[in-house]
Each structure stands twice: as C-alpha cells, then as structure tokens.
Amino acid sequence: MNFIRAMLAGAIALAVSGAALAQQPIVVKFSHVVADATPKGQGALKFKEVAEKLLPGKVQVQVFPNSQLFGDAKEMEAVLLGDVQFIAPSLSKFDRYTKKIQVFDLPFLFDDIAAVDRFQQSPAGKALLDSMKNRGLQGLAYWHNGMKELSTNKDKLTRPDDVKGLKFRIQASDVLEAQFRALGANPQKMAFAEVYQALQTGVVDGQENTWSNIYSQKFHEVQKTIAVTNHGVIDYMVVTNAKWWDGLPADVRKGLQQAMDEATAYSNKLANEINERDRKRIEEAGKAKIQPLSKDDVAAWRKAMEPVWKKFEGDIGKDLIEAALKSNQ
Ligand code: LMR
C-alpha cells in the first residue's frame, strides 16, 4: 500500500513539474550592434512586440542593442553555439560563410535602396537566404538600412585623390578592403563598437556608413567632412541557428516567422525616413560639413573603384552580378 502511495506521489510530482516546464516561455535573444533609434534597432523592437503578441506566454523576446551582449567579432559564433537566437549583421560581414553574398559590397552596383530591394526579393536574392544553411545559419529576412557615405577628418573630400594614403575603418569584408586599396588608402577591419574611439583618437582618418549610423554613433562629431557618395549599401540579413529553428514547435516557428515578416515590413518602410531625418540632424549639428558631389566627381569615384568588380567576379559569379544589375532597371 505504502509503495503504491509513493509511486502515485512521484507520478503527480512529475506531472506538476512537467506542466510548469511546459508553461515556461521560450526565451529568444536578439542581439545587434546599433542603437535603438536606427532602422535595425526599430525592426528588432517591432519583432519583440509582434512575437510576444502572437505567442502570449510561449515566447519571451529579449533585445540587446549596441553590442551589449555580443559585438561583431562574436555574434555569429554565439548564434551557432545557441547563446543568442537572432542577429542581423550587415551583409558585408558574412563573407566567411558565403562568397556569393559579397555581391552586395561591390561599389556602385545598386543605384538606390529600391534597386537593392528588388534584387533581394528576386529568386536569386531569396536563394541567398538559404546559402549558409550548410554552415548552420538560416536567413529569415533582409532588412534595409541605406546607402553609404564616405567621411574623413580632412576638409577636402570630393575626388578619389583626396583619400590617398588615409586610413579607413572598414567592416570585416574582403571586398571593402579591396575597394579602399583601389583608392590608394589603407583599410583596417574593425568592430563597429570601436569605430567612434578610433576616429576620435586618429587611429583611423575615416569610415563609410549610413546617415543613421553616423548620427547615432556621433561620428559626425569626430569627422570633418561627409561626402555624399552613395557608393554602396548597408543592409542586413536576419539569421538564426538553422537547427534551433527547425526544432521549434511548429506553431512557435510559424508565429516567429509572422512576427519577422511584420517587423521586416515595418523597418524597411522606416529606413529611408530615419536616414533622411538623421542627415538633417547632422546638418543642423553643424559639426561635420556635408559635401555634395557633382556627376563628374561621382564618375571619378566609380572609375577608381571599378577594379574591385573584376577581382571578385569569380567568387561571386557573373550570373549573380548580372541578376543584381538587372534590379536597377
Ligand atoms: C558597421 O559595422 O559599420 C555596420 O555594419 C553596423 C550596422 O550593423 O549597421
């Protein structure tokens, strides 16, 4: 009798703790390197809001901006190790995982963000979301930031000759390294979180980024000139651990995908607006001069950066470059 009672008590205890476990929400960490008041920062917060609304009690999304949890150097490994579930690195930072994605870094390939968007939504662009699955990363969406501008601590910044011999911080991308070498400058790969200090102390003379990143990181306070080059793009791929994603309960995966789709639409719609707003704020701050460029100046930058295309054509593939070029029409 005592034995039966003990068995029953054990079974009840197990059932109770099982039920408690079943009620624990899945904690989903989203880590990124920029400020909340940027397109990516806003997208991550929207994702949290929608995911928790669609999956009440089932998921809890924690957003960590500003490299608080992981910076550039660690975030991909952290996803693969399961220490964080979502990250959204710039497309320039994936070249260790797939060479194809380097297409986004080719200078002067896209006319504007609308063209970038058309390419991302094309079959060739969508296929890239799955191109790192064999390395454990599943792409879920593209998020926009915007076109890049070039800044330095010098007064003159209109022609390629103006950057000869200068040191530039670049993202971890071989294409961007080749781009600055083609200009006769010295590129230095560096994590985003270290850029402000490197500019302030003169470790580097310049950098390239979007208006929203320049403003939110205060780069305009430690640079003299920002030239409106629009020579490339900073966009993102939201990625997760492929195994973790495939192993989620189907309803949770579906809800998270829907939240991702809504956050994508929201942040992509906002991106231009945020960059325009921050360009104005930089202008109003009156610290760095915004240098407009003539058509002739832009043509000179384009020509100086041209050799980069040939260098990476083999790795990226001619077909993919042509598919990207088509999105300009
Ligand atoms: C950079 O490193 O300059 C950017 O990629 C940062 C970001 O995520 O926008």
In tens, the pLDDT along 139-164 reads 999 999 999 999 999 999 999 999 99
What pLDDT is recorded for position 144? 98
Record the pTM: 0.93
**Cβ 90 under 6 angstroms from ligand 1:** yes
Which of the four pLDDT bands, split at 50, 70 and 90, describes residue 329?
confident
pLDDT digits (tens, 9 = 90+) for 62-85: 999 999 999 999 999 999 999 999
**Cβ 33 under 6 angstroms from ligand 1:** yes
CA distances, 323 to each of 64, 115, 135, 259, 262 (Å): 35, 11, 24, 29, 27
Least-confidence region, from 3-17, 26-40, 288-302, 312-326: 3-17
**Cβ 216 under 6 angstroms from ligand 1:** no
User: What mean pLDDT, rounded, does the chain reach?
Assistant: 95
- CA nearest 128: which of 269, 237, 287, 235? 237
**Cβ 207 under 6 angstroms from ligand 1:** no
* Residue 169 Cα: closest atom of ligand 1: 3
Residue 300 identity (one-letter amino acid): A
Average pLDDT over residues 264-275: 98
What pLDDT is recorded for position 15? 52
pLDDT at 11 over 80: no
What structural domains does the chain harbor? 2-326 (3.40.190.170)
Average pLDDT over residues 229-245: 98
**Cβ 109 under 6 angstroms from ligand 1:** no
Q: How far is ligand 1, taken at its centre, from the CA of residue 89, in Å?
A: 7
Q: What sign results for the dihedral spanned by CA atoms 292, 294, 297, 301? A: positive
* Residue 90 Cα: closest atom of ligand 1: 5
Integer Cα distance of 179 and 187 in angstroms:
9
**Mutate-to-test residue for ligand 1 from 38, 42, 64, 72, highest number of ligand atoms within 8 A of CB:** 72
* H and E: helices and strands count for the chain: 13, 11
pLDDT at 276 over 90: yes
**Cβ 192 under 6 angstroms from ligand 1:** yes
Q: Mark out the alpha helices in 83-135 (DSSP H runs).
A: 113-121, 123-127
pLDDT at 9 over 70: no
**Cβ 242 under 6 angstroms from ligand 1:** no
pLDDT at 326 over 80: yes
What pLDDT is recorded for position 12? 53
pLDDT at 310 over 90: yes
Q: Give the residue, by CA position, lying nearest to ligand 1 atom 2.
A: 192
**Cβ 209 under 6 angstroms from ligand 1:** yes
What pLDDT is recorded for position 205? 99
Which of the four pLDDT bands, split at 50, 70 and 90, describes residue 8?
low
Q: Give the residue, by CA position, lying nearest to ligand 1 atom 5.
A: 90
**Cβ 145 under 6 angstroms from ligand 1:** yes
Which of the four pLDDT bands, split at 50, 70 and 90, describes residue 248?
very high
What pLDDT is recorded for position 146? 98
pLDDT at 10 over 60: no
What pLDDT is recorded for position 27? 98
Q: How far is ligand 1, taken at its centre, from the CA of residue 114, in Å?
A: 20
Q: Give the residue, by CA position, lying nearest to ligand 1 atom 3.
A: 192
